[in-house]
Protein backbone atom coordinates (compact mmCIF):
# COMPACT_ATOMS: atom_id res chain seq x y z
CA UNK A 1 0.00 0.00 0.00
CA UNK A 2 1.11 3.52 -0.69
CA UNK A 3 1.47 6.19 1.97
CA UNK A 4 1.96 9.92 2.25
CA UNK A 5 3.85 11.92 4.85
CA UNK A 6 3.36 15.65 5.18
CA UNK A 7 6.12 17.21 7.25
CA UNK A 8 4.76 19.79 9.68
CA UNK A 9 1.16 19.99 10.75
CA UNK A 10 1.42 23.81 10.73
CA UNK A 11 3.46 26.16 8.59
CA UNK A 12 3.54 29.89 9.33
CA UNK A 13 4.73 32.51 6.83
CA UNK A 14 4.50 36.24 6.39
CA UNK A 15 2.47 37.74 3.57
CA UNK A 16 4.72 37.98 0.52
CA UNK A 17 7.10 35.24 1.70
CA UNK A 18 7.82 31.93 0.00
CA UNK A 19 5.46 29.09 0.79
CA UNK A 20 6.90 25.57 1.00
CA UNK A 21 4.75 22.63 2.07
CA UNK A 22 6.50 19.28 2.15
CA UNK A 23 5.15 15.94 1.00
CA UNK A 24 6.93 12.59 0.73
CA UNK A 25 5.33 9.42 -0.50
CA UNK A 26 6.05 5.74 -0.65
CA UNK A 27 5.12 3.72 -3.70
CA UNK A 28 6.25 0.57 -5.43
CA UNK A 29 5.06 1.83 -8.83
CA UNK A 30 5.03 5.27 -10.50
CA UNK A 31 2.34 7.15 -8.62
CA UNK A 32 -0.21 9.79 -9.41
CA UNK A 33 0.18 12.66 -6.92
CA UNK A 34 -2.15 15.46 -5.92
CA UNK A 35 -2.36 18.56 -3.79
CA UNK A 36 -5.75 19.64 -2.50
CA UNK A 37 -6.72 22.75 -0.54
CA UNK A 38 -9.46 22.99 2.07
CA UNK A 39 -10.87 26.24 3.38
CA UNK A 40 -12.67 26.20 6.77
CA UNK A 41 -15.86 24.13 6.80
CA UNK A 42 -15.60 23.35 3.11
CA UNK A 43 -14.74 20.37 0.97
CA UNK A 44 -11.41 19.83 -0.78
CA UNK A 45 -10.49 21.47 -4.08
CA UNK A 46 -7.80 20.21 -6.41
CA UNK A 47 -4.79 22.54 -6.61
CA UNK A 48 -2.69 20.47 -9.00
CA UNK A 49 -1.83 16.92 -9.99
CA UNK A 50 1.12 14.93 -11.33
CA UNK A 51 0.25 12.17 -13.79
CA UNK A 52 3.69 11.17 -15.17
CA UNK A 53 4.01 14.02 -17.66
CA UNK A 54 6.10 17.09 -16.79
CA UNK A 55 7.79 16.84 -13.38
CA UNK A 56 7.08 20.50 -12.59
CA UNK A 57 3.35 20.93 -12.29
CA UNK A 58 1.60 24.29 -12.21
CA UNK A 59 -1.72 24.65 -10.44
CA UNK A 60 -4.27 27.25 -9.55
CA UNK A 61 -3.67 30.37 -7.43
CA UNK A 62 0.04 30.51 -8.33
CA UNK A 63 0.99 27.19 -6.71
CA UNK A 64 3.32 24.65 -8.25
CA UNK A 65 4.87 21.35 -7.23
CA UNK A 66 7.84 19.35 -8.43
CA UNK A 67 7.90 15.58 -8.63
CA UNK A 68 11.32 14.22 -7.58
CA UNK A 69 11.46 10.48 -7.96
CA UNK A 70 14.91 10.13 -6.37
CA UNK A 71 13.66 11.87 -3.23
CA UNK A 72 10.13 10.46 -3.39
CA UNK A 73 8.88 13.99 -2.85
CA UNK A 74 6.19 16.25 -4.21
CA UNK A 75 6.63 19.55 -2.36
CA UNK A 76 4.20 22.41 -2.93
CA UNK A 77 5.51 25.95 -3.39
CA UNK A 78 4.32 29.46 -4.07
CA UNK A 79 6.74 32.39 -4.50
CA UNK A 80 4.68 34.93 -2.57
CA UNK A 81 2.06 34.13 0.04
CA UNK A 82 -1.24 35.94 0.14
CA UNK A 83 -3.59 36.19 3.10
CA UNK A 84 -6.18 34.25 1.11
CA UNK A 85 -3.80 31.26 0.94
CA UNK A 86 -4.46 30.49 4.61
CA UNK A 87 -6.06 27.04 4.55
CA UNK A 88 -5.44 23.34 5.08
CA UNK A 89 -3.41 21.59 2.38
CA UNK A 90 -3.48 17.88 1.68
CA UNK A 91 -1.07 15.81 -0.35
CA UNK A 92 -2.44 12.58 -1.83
CA UNK A 93 -1.12 9.60 -3.80
CA UNK A 94 -3.17 7.23 -5.91
CA UNK A 95 -3.18 3.62 -4.88
CA UNK A 96 -4.77 1.01 -7.15
CA UNK A 97 -7.02 -1.09 -4.96
CA UNK A 98 -9.20 -3.76 -6.47
CA UNK A 99 -8.74 -2.39 -9.96
CA UNK A 100 -9.62 1.20 -9.13
CA UNK A 101 -7.30 4.08 -8.29
CA UNK A 102 -8.14 5.32 -4.79
CA UNK A 103 -6.10 8.16 -3.33
CA UNK A 104 -4.44 8.00 0.07
CA UNK A 105 -4.23 11.34 1.83
CA UNK A 106 -1.64 12.80 4.14
CA UNK A 107 -2.66 14.28 7.49
CA UNK A 108 -2.68 17.80 6.15
CA UNK A 109 -0.67 20.97 6.75
CA UNK A 110 -2.32 24.10 8.02
CA UNK A 111 -0.87 27.20 6.33
CA UNK A 112 -0.97 30.34 8.46
CA UNK A 113 -0.24 33.66 6.76
CA UNK A 114 0.71 36.67 8.89
CA UNK A 115 0.20 40.24 7.65
Partner 1 sequence: SQTIHQWPATLVQPVGSPLSLECTVEGTSNPNLYWYRQAAGRGLQLLFYSVGIGQISSEVPQNLSASRPQDRQFILSSKKLLLSDSGFYLCAWREHTGVDTGELFFGEGSRLTVL
CB 48 within 8 Å of CB 65: yes
Residues 24, 27, 73, 94: which binds partner 1 (CB under 8 A)? 94
CB 26 within 8 Å of CB 2: yes
Under rule CB under 8 A, residue 111 binds partner 1: no
Residues 89, 90, 111, 113: which binds partner 1 (CB under 8 A)? 90
Q: Cα-flanking dihedrals φ and ψ of residue 20, to 5°?
A: -135, 115
Interface mask (CB under 8 A) for partner 1, residues 9-38, using x and -?
x----------------------x-x-x--
> CB-hemisphere CA count at 13 Å for 82?
5
Under rule CB under 8 A, residue 51 binds partner 1: yes
Residues 35, 81, 108, 113: which binds partner 1 (CB under 8 A)? 108
Residues that bind partner 1 (CB under 8 A): 9, 32, 34, 36, 41-46, 49, 51, 90, 92, 94-95, 98, 100-103, 105-108
Amino acid sequence: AQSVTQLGSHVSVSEGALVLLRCNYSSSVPPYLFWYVQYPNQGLQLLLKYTSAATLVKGINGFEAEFKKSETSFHLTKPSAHMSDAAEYFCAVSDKIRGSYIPTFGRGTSLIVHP
